[in-house]
């Protein structure tokens, strides 16, 4: 699975970029191009690999095999998260992400920003495993982060 190159179609599915309005039509390639540019991912021969995607998302290129399935599952939009946790409106998910969680609940999992930092872009995604762990009041999965550069005082972002 990790040895297979990721095509544009795989990346569109992973980043949840298919729009429901255009079902039956091919997705807009500009959406994927914007995400890849924001994350600093360049395709070689129209493909890339999981370690490149993980590095772009701030994780180590080498991950524990136990986490591979969770890290390769498609990311969830706010709408998909709302459906998973049983809330009516995706705007509630954005409120939770900003810290306004229900009383007694732990902090909501951090969003993955696909917009390159644009304010209020709403191009945020969540990992399914993290959302389910939060919803079941379990500890968050801990993924390997990149090692700091030799001699650095602070770890690289």
Same structural domain, 61 and 82 = no
Mean pLDDT of the chain: 87
* Mean per-residue pLDDT, 12-19: 89
Q: Which two tokens stand for residue 96?
A: 């939770």
Q: Is residue 145 part of a domain?
A: no
pLDDT at position 36, please?
95
Q: Please indicate, yes or no, whether residues 12 and 67 belong to a single structural domain of this protein.
A: yes
Domain count, the chain: 2
The enclosing H or E element of 6 equals none
Of residues 81 and 118, more confidently modeled: 81
Q: How many angstroms separate the CA atoms of 55 and 53, rounded?
A: 5
Q: Are residues 53 and 84 in the same domain?
A: no
57 falls within a domain: yes
User: What are the backbone angles phi and psi of residue 34, rounded to the nearest 5°?
Assistant: -65, -40
The model's pLDDT over 95-143, given as tens digits with 9 standing for 90+, comes to 999 999 989 889 999 999 998 777 766 789 999 999 999 999 999 999 9
Report if residue 142 sits inside a domain.
Answer: no
> Same structural domain for residues 82 and 123?
yes
Q: Are 94 and 78 in contact (CB under 8 A)?
A: yes
The reported pTM is 0.85
Phi, psi of 144 (to 5 degrees): -70, 135
Both structure tokens of 52: 């490149």
Q: Helices 128-135 and 78-85 sit at what angle, rounded to 10 degrees?
A: 30
Domain residues for the domain of 131 are: 78-135
Residue 157 resides in a domain? no
Domain-located, residue 110: yes
């Amino acid at each position: 699975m990790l040895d297979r190159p990721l095509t544009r179609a795989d990346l569109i599915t992973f980043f949840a970029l298919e729009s429901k309005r255009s079902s039956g039509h091919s997705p807009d390639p500009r959406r994927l191009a914007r995400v890849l540019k924001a994350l600093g991912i360049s395709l070689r021969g129209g493909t890339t690999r999981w370690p490149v995607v993980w590095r772009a998302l701030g994780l180590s290129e080498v991950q524990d095999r136990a986490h591979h399935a969770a890290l390769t599952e498609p990311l969830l939009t706010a709408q998909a998260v709302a459906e998973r946790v049983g809330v009516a409106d995706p705007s509630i998910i954005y409120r939770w992400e900003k810290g306004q969680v229900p009383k007694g609940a732990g902090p909501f999992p951090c969003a993955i920003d696909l917009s390159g930092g644009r304010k209020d872009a709403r191009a945020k995604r969540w990992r399914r495993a993290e959302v389910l762990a939060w919803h079941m009041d379990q500890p968050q999965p801990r993924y390997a982060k990149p090692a700091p550069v030799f001699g650095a005082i602070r770890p690289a972002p």
